[in-house]
Amino acid sequence: MVKYLSEEWRAEVEKRLREHLDPEKMNKVTSSMNSRYANCPDGGKKYFYVSFANGSVDKVLAGDGDGPNAEFCITGDYEVFAKISRAELGSQKALMGGALKLKGNMVKALKLASLSDRVNKIISTIETEF
C-alpha cells in the first residue's frame, strides 16, 4: 500500500499508465493537466500533474505546492480528488457539480473527458492509503 500523492504513489501511477494506455487508445492526444489540491490533511497544498505527447505518457509528477503550468488546471479539495482516485466519484460529475474548478479550453476538456476517466480508472486500482 502506498500513501496518496507520495513519490511511491506517483511512481506506481506512472508505471501503470505506461502499461495500460497506448497512443491509439489515447487518440494520440497531446495535452497536460495539473490537479491542485486544497485542504490537504497536512494543511498544505499539493498537486498531481500528467502530460501526454502523441498519446503516450510524457510526465507524471506529484508534490507540494501548485506544481507546473499545464494546458488544463483543475482545483478542488483533497477529499474530492481522493474520491475520484478511489472511483467513488466521476471527475465529470465533480466538475459539473462545482466540486472542482477547471481552467483551460472547455471544448477540448469535454472531448478529453473520457480519456481522463480512463486515467482515473487505472489510478483507482492502486492500493492507496488516503
Domain boundaries along the sequence of the chain: 2-129
Cell (9 digits) for 49 = 500533474
> Does 110 or 46 have the greater pLDDT score?
46
- Options 3.90.1150.10, 3.30.1050.10, 1.10.10.410, 3.40.50.1980; which CATH number does 2-129 get? 3.30.1050.10
Q: Sorting pLDDT into bands at 50, 70 and 90, what band is 111?
A: confident
Q: What is the pLDDT of residues 30-82, one digit of tens each?
A: 999 999 999 999 999 999 999 999 999 999 999 999 999 999 999 999 999 99
Averaged pLDDT of the chain:
94
Burial class for 66, CB neighbours closer than 10 Å (0-12, 13-18, 19+)? middle
Measured in whole angstroms, the distance separating CA 55 from the mean position of its chain's CA atoms is 16
Beta strands in the chain (DSSP E): 2-3, 31-38, 46-53, 56-64, 72-77, 100-103, 128-129
Reduce the DSSP state of residue 42 to 3 states and report it.
coil
Q: Can you read off the three cell numbers belonging to residue 2?
A: 502506498
Confidence of residue 9 (pLDDT cuts 50, 70, 90): very high
pLDDT at 26: 84
Separation between Cα atoms, residue 44 and residue 66, nearest integer Å: 10
Question: Is 78:39 a contact under the CB 8 Å cutoff?
Answer: yes
Q: Can you tell me the distance from the alpha carbon of 83 to that of 87, in angstroms, rounded to the nearest whole number?
A: 6
Exposed, middle or buried, 114 (CB in 10 Å: 0-12/13-18/19+)? exposed
Amino acid letter, 125: T
